[in-house]
Amino acid sequence: MIRAVVRHYLMTPTPTYQAGLSASQVQSAGMLEQLTGFFEAVVVELGLDPGDQLSAYRDHSVGFVLVEAAEVVGGLELVLGNLGGHLPVRSVWPELACADCLNVADVAFLALAPHYRGNRSAFWLLCTELWRFCIVHAIQVLWFEAPPTILRLYRVLGWPLVVEGPARLHWGEPTYPCSMQMEELTEVFIQKAKERPAFRKIVQQALRDPVPEAAAVIPELLALR
């Protein structure tokens, strides 16, 4: 579920790389608690109805945080595929198949604090950490649950999302199940980094040492470092 991220996105200028912001994978119980509190606040603010979805996948998910001055100002929960296919997208679209689901993951929740919504640096910092993680762990396909407005905006951003089923109620509103190939997302990253110096700096952060082995065999990526 992608929420509170791209509101007014199309009206914002192309940003510069923003010092003071950092994104990383959650590594401690304390940071996980902060991320959970951030998500809960966003849900209340937007009047969403996630049911038990904020905690249902905790045993096979990872979190990413966007931090400024030790404060969580954005976050992302990625649910990892498993043999049971227990992914958020299949809770609403159970007919969607993903083989053994071991090489897929589901972006269950992505949100930014109000003062960072529409900030491209903040958004892409989170997304490049997600991308790095997927490369390291050989995740080939990402799933998203996207309302129509968010889906249109992501397509404007160049994300190669494919609608895989009909719109159904999810978190209290009509939502589409979407998939995205990591190989295609990598191509988007390479192209954007070639065209935009600010985006190149963000990608360079994701390509920090140690460089993911899978990324190291892509010459276009290594040339961006």
Q: Is the dihedral of CA 143, 149, 152, 158 positive or negative?
A: negative
| pLDDT, averaged across the chain | 83
Angle at 154 between CA 208 and CA 207, to 5 degrees: 5
Dihedral Cα 89, 92, 95, 96, nearest 10 deg = -20
Residue 145 and residue 143: Cα distance in Å, rounded?
Answer: 7
Q: Is residue 203 part of a domain?
A: yes
Q: Is residue 193 part of a domain?
A: yes
Number of domain units in the chain: 1
C-alpha to C-alpha distances, 87 to 20, 22, 102, 169, nearest whole angstrom:
34, 28, 11, 16
Q: Is residue 2 part of a domain?
A: no
Q: Is residue 167 part of a domain?
A: yes
User: What is the mean predicted confidence (pLDDT) over 59-85?
Assistant: 89
CATH number at residue 93: 3.40.630.30
Task: Give the global pTM.
Answer: 0.85
Q: Is residue 28 part of a domain?
A: yes
* pLDDT digits 0-9 by tens, 98-153: 655 778 999 999 999 998 888 888 888 999 999 989 988 889 999 999 999 889 88
Q: Is residue 199 part of a domain?
A: yes
Q: Is residue 21 part of a domain?
A: yes
Q: Is residue 73 part of a domain?
A: yes
Closest alpha carbon to 24 in 65, 55, 81:
65
Residue 73 structural domain: 9-222
Highest mean pLDDT, choosing among 44-58, 165-179, 207-221: 165-179
